[in-house]
Amino acid sequence: RENKRCLPGIKIPLEINFTTSMAEALEEAEVAVMAVPSKAVRATAQKMKDYLQPSTIIVNVAKGVEEETLLRLSQVIESVLPNPVVVLSGPSHAEEVARHIPTTVTVSSQDMKYAYEIQDLFMDMYFRVYTNEDLIGIEIGGALKNVIALAAGVVEGMGFGDNTKAALMTRGIAEMTRLGIAMGGKPNTFAGLTGIGDLIVTCTSGHSRNRRAGELIGQGYTMDEAIQKVNMVVEGVPTTKAGYALMQKYQVEMPILNAIYKV
């Protein structure tokens, strides 16, 4: 009952059952949490389709944009499943949540009554859940901060200092906000948990896969070598490609994203 590679030292509670059967996992489920890489969201939703009750709430915790369609992940799920979808996002590394280190996140949905249900279900003494009606802003902030974290890692790998990283993060949140507003998001969202909050933790934490991959690239490794060394999903890479396409589509100036795309 321990994931030695990803969560060493954490014993998974006896109340949690493991299964590789989609049917068994979803049978009579009131809530289904999708915690798969962004590129696997559509395929996973299609596999879930035959086993879900119409009332089952889907909670998506992946952060990204579908590269081929430029859809936000909630839109991807909604294009496959008729179920209500709630997005959970925020500065929340699993390594700390699993150790009951105080953490705050945000939930949102097209229909906020489902977001309130998930808020009540997930909230406890160390895991605080806020709600926000700006679904677009939350998803775009959660996705794009991974790109800025790659950039933060690159400047660290190149040997630059705190001044550089502070400048990068500050200008990075400005870029995220510009694109988010162009897509219909609200500016205040990017000053919150799923904007500046998630950006801070992803750009500075040793747990951050994106920052680590960027650091390796800054040291001279290729992108493929960096991903292999991190040995986990680095969402910033496909999000950079999707973000570049969104930047062009909405004609938004994003020099940091543009530079990381070239790298």
Contact partners, residue 148, CB within 8 Å, separation at least 6: 168, 169, 172, 173, 175, 176, 199, 202, 203, 256, 257
Determine which one of 145, 165, 229, 262 is catalytic.
145
Residue 145 bears catalytic tag:
yes
E strands, the chain, are: 31-34, 57-60, 85-89, 103-109, 127-131
What Cα–Cα distance (Å) separates residue 71 from each residue in 13, 107, 159, 253?
Answer: 35, 19, 36, 20
Alpha-carbon Rg for the chain in angstroms: 18
Positions marked catalytic = 145
